């Protein structure tokens, strides 16, 4: 029996997922719309639809699940916002046990959650263009900007599971409101540049 895993990438617009083996070969892929479930009260319905879509893939063999999302591990990507008329809008109520909720629907299946840019960084290090590199940075562009850092061959996770720099904005808005959003992009790269200087990496790369 093949050792398989389903990678799930929760984006602000869509949630994409694919079935892969230990060599990185892709066997199946699909997508559901994240934007269909924008509010706090939609979270349970989102998990149900996601798990229903994953179930056929998970029946293909011995499967693990890796779920990736923007933001920190404790509070994924500021997804599932409160409605304008929410009576109890405390931020801590928006911290969802995503791995537990998905795992409860797949008994015996290992479910892990990590930051999406971190996962992309590890993927490039193991299967992609960064193979053999010991020190590099991965920058991701989607609904938001994200980044992952590798130093001495090890992923830097930080205290909350996200050791990189990131910003959340809608890509569509980047083009509609170029003046306002471009400032966010500039600030993102300024912070990256300052970080490079702080950890004395710039001189090693040129």
Q: For 65-117, what is each residue's pLDDT tens digit?
A: 777 776 554 444 456 788 889 899 887 788 788 889 999 999 888 888 888 88
Res. 168 pLDDT band, cuts 50 70 90 = low
113 contacts 98 by C-beta, under 8 angstroms: yes
Residues 20 and 101 occupy one common structural domain: yes
Any domain includes 185: yes
Residues 157 and 113 occupy one common structural domain: no
Q: For residue 47, what are the contacts with CB-CB under 8 A and spacing of at least 6? A: 98, 101, 102, 105
Q: Which domain holds residue 179?
A: 132-205
Q: Which two tokens stand for residue 117?
A: 């840019």
Q: What pTM was estimated for this model as a whole?
A: 0.74
With a cut of 90, say whether residue 52 has pLDDT above it. yes
The total number of structural domains that make up the chain = 2
Measured torsion, CA atoms of residues 11, 12, 16, 17, in degrees rounded to the nearest 10 = 50
Residues 94 and 33 occupy one common structural domain: yes
Domain with residue 106: its CATH number is 3.30.420.40
Report how far residue 165's alpha carbon sits from residue 192's, in angstroms, rounded to the nearest whole number: 7
Res. 133 pLDDT band, cuts 50 70 90 = very high
DSSP string, 99-124: HHHHHTTSTT--EEEEEHHHHHHHHH
Report how far residue 131's alpha carbon sits from residue 101's, in angstroms, rounded to the nearest whole number: 34
Residues 69 and 168 occupy one common structural domain: no
């Amino acid at each position: 029996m093949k050792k398989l895993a389903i990678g799930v990438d929760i984006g602000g617009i869509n949630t994409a997922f694919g079935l892969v083996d230990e060599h990185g070969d892709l066997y199946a892929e699909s997508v559901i719309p994240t934007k269909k479930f924008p509010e706090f009260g939609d979270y349970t319905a989102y998990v149900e639809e996601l798990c229903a879509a994953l179930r056929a893939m998970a029946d293909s063999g011995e499967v693990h699940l890796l779920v990736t999302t923007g933001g920190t591990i404790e509070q994924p990507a500021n997804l599932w916002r409160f409605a304008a008329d929410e009576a109890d809008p405390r931020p801590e109520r928006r911290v969802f046990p995503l791995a537990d909720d998905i795992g409860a629907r797949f008994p015996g299946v290992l479910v892990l959650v990590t930051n999406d840019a971190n996962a992309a960084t590890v993927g490039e290090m193991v299967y992609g263009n960064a193979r053999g590199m010991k020190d590099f940075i991965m920058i991701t562009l989607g609904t938001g900007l994200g980044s992952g850092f590798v130093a001495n061959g090890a992923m830097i996770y930080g205290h909350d599971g996200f050791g990189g720099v990131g910003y959340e904005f809608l890509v569509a808005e980047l083009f509609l409101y170029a003046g306002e959003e471009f400032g966010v992009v500039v600030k993102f790269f300024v912070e990256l540049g300052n970080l490079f200087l702080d950890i004395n990496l710039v001189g090693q790369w040129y």
